[in-house]
Structure 1
């Protein structure tokens, strides 16, 4: 009887040990648990939009990003940790994406071409294409949508609330300064922002007014449009200003010298991703532009 009891005890111990090992193996194969988030084990994310990349990083999943588009430059570390796949609208190939063996592909409707979208859909890889709205509420929704796509379990409200916190204390102008945004890729490629663009939304968030309201989207810059708009301030991306040889080059653009901005040398340059991504840094961008407009 004593021997039987000993055998039963030994069998119980062996069963418990096997059960424990089996549970540990299942955990390793399915998910990796962190403090408050569940991330798919071995997840390999391709992000095809700068705002999406910012949201993924803000949610704590930057290390899972293995590939990115050219607009994904924040956080700074992602530029070295993830492969640059180029511009979504300018020849990004499905082959380059698939070489990275992704488990999840994320992008936005505005950026992705129908051809690339079709190839991603047929790739057999899980994908999510978000609809982006260029407002503070739209930025909060994007954060929530990205969290859902990542099966992120932690509280996202602090990340969303930061957008409003960052916008607090903006300078209120008696009269909104007229701001003209010029997109430049060298002196021979100059475009101005009309209505309905992300940059117009950011100008308005910062307390300014778009100097050009008689057309939508972007059009080539002309001296006539500059003079007609007569902006108080000219706004450009840092990279755009560099492409025309800085502030001196901007002041030499035909028509600039006849505007209030040119006469007063009121030129503002800022990081393009910060200004137009409309991700977690939306409030930070509005505050930074507001402060520069107030100087």
Structure 2
């Protein structure tokens, strides 16, 4: 659902109409004072040449490097209303899933346009997201151009990835974390699963949706040819050596060959303007092309 909170709501059934409409999402044609919540939203605004209208961003918005100079209002799933309102926003544009709900309710009641852009893990989802942001900031023509260029590039890299994979696509296990030796992996209907498939491979984790812990038996049965992980810091970080030292990983085909791929989280899973490049890089890491 896309929501524009300045006295009205746009529900899911109106999403296609919103994207296609020539009318601006808000009364102000090209608003400034924008707070971007979500890395892909920030990337899109920069790609549309409207970075000068941004006044703040959330912690996940670390690309491009210039974005990091903006005030940080906190992690998108743990926002405080005080942190967001302290920068005096004229508009808030957010990825779906921002929270907590109590904060969102306060922000929506502050008489500031609050737009939530749905996220879908597909080429069509990225295009819809770009067009929705373009409409919100009064740049529909630039959004159409950006979306068109991305469509062409993404179609080309996905086709190349499938050709490189041939008749035997590799099985890839995306591991979110290994805290306590427990494998937290990506099942179906996730950004990671969609990226694996776009790169010409198969998700080795089947039988569940979302991110869940896998038993040692399930990991061994999945028999991944490669392990995919995010480059990250803090408690969830695990070096390649640490990962390969886990007996359950060592017993898989990926562990035996040391096939571990690590990529920046926003680049890999953001589903924004750089997705075509991320698919190309992942495919190259898997198939050596």
Q: TM-score, normalised by structure 1?
A: 0.80
Q: 2:91 aligns with which of 104, 115, 132?
A: 104
Match of 2:24 in 1: none
Matches of 1:163 and 1:73, distance apart in 2: 21
The aligned residue for residue 12 of structure 2 is none
Q: 1:186 to 1:63 in 2, by over 3 A?
A: farther
1:226-284, Cα deviation, whole Å (9 max, x unpaired): 11111000000011699544210110124001100000110000010011111111211
Alpha-carbon deviations, 1:154-190, whole Å to 9, x = none? 4333311232343325232121110000012755674
- 1:12-31 equivalence runs, <5 A: none
Please state if 1:86 is matched with 2:79. Answer: no
Distance 1:65 1:253, change over 3 A: farther
Contact 2:57 2:73 in 1 (8 A): yes
Conserved 8 A contact 2:48-2:142:
no
Q: Which runs of 5+ in 2 are unaligned?
A: 1-26
Distance 2:115 2:181 in 1: 37
CA RMSD of aligned residues (A): 2.2
Q: For residues 215 and 153 of structure 1, do their structure 2 counterparts lie closer, same or farther at Cα, with a shift above 3 Å needed?
A: closer
CA deviation after TM superposition for structure 1 residue 126, in Å: 1.2
The answer to whether residue 237 in structure 2 is matched with residue 250 in structure 1 is: no
Q: Which residue of 1 aligns with 2:225?
A: 232
Write the distance in 1 (CA, Å) between the matches of 2:83 and 2:46: 22
Structure 1 segments unaligned to the other structure (5+ residues): 1-29, 32-37
Q: 1:214 aligns with which of 188, 207, 214?
A: 207
Q: Which residue of 2 aligns with 1:134?
A: 121
CA shift digits 1:52-105 (9 cap, x unpaired)? 11111111111222221221111121012x112221223x10011010000000
Q: Which has the larger radius of gyration?
A: 1
Structure 1 equivalent of residue 21 of structure 2: none
Q: Distance in 2 between matches of 1:242 and 1:232?
A: 26
Aligned to 2:102: 115
Aligned to 1:273: 266
Aligned mates of 1:95, 1:236 — CA distance in 2: 34
Residue 183 of structure 1 corresponds to 176
For the pair 1:59 / 2:52, whether they are aligned, the reply is no
Partner of 2:17: none
3-state DSSP class of the match of 1:77? helix
Question: Does the C-alpha gap of structure 1 residues 259 and 79 become closer, same or farther in structure 2, counting only changes over 3 Å?
Answer: same
* Aligned residue in 1 for 2:142: 155
1:290 aligns with one of 271, 275, 283: 283
3-state SS of paired residue (1:155): helix
Counterparts of 2:204 and 2:128 in 1: how far apart (Å)?
Answer: 29
Contact 1:46 1:105 in 2 (8 A): yes
Matched positions, count:
256
Q: TM-score, normalised by structure 2?
A: 0.82
The more displaced of 43-52 and 184-193 is 184-193
Would the alpha carbon gap of residues 188 and 98 (structure 1) be closer, same or farther in structure 2, given more than 3 Å must change? farther
**2:30 aligned residue:** 39
8 Å Cα contact 1:241-1:247 kept in structure 2: no
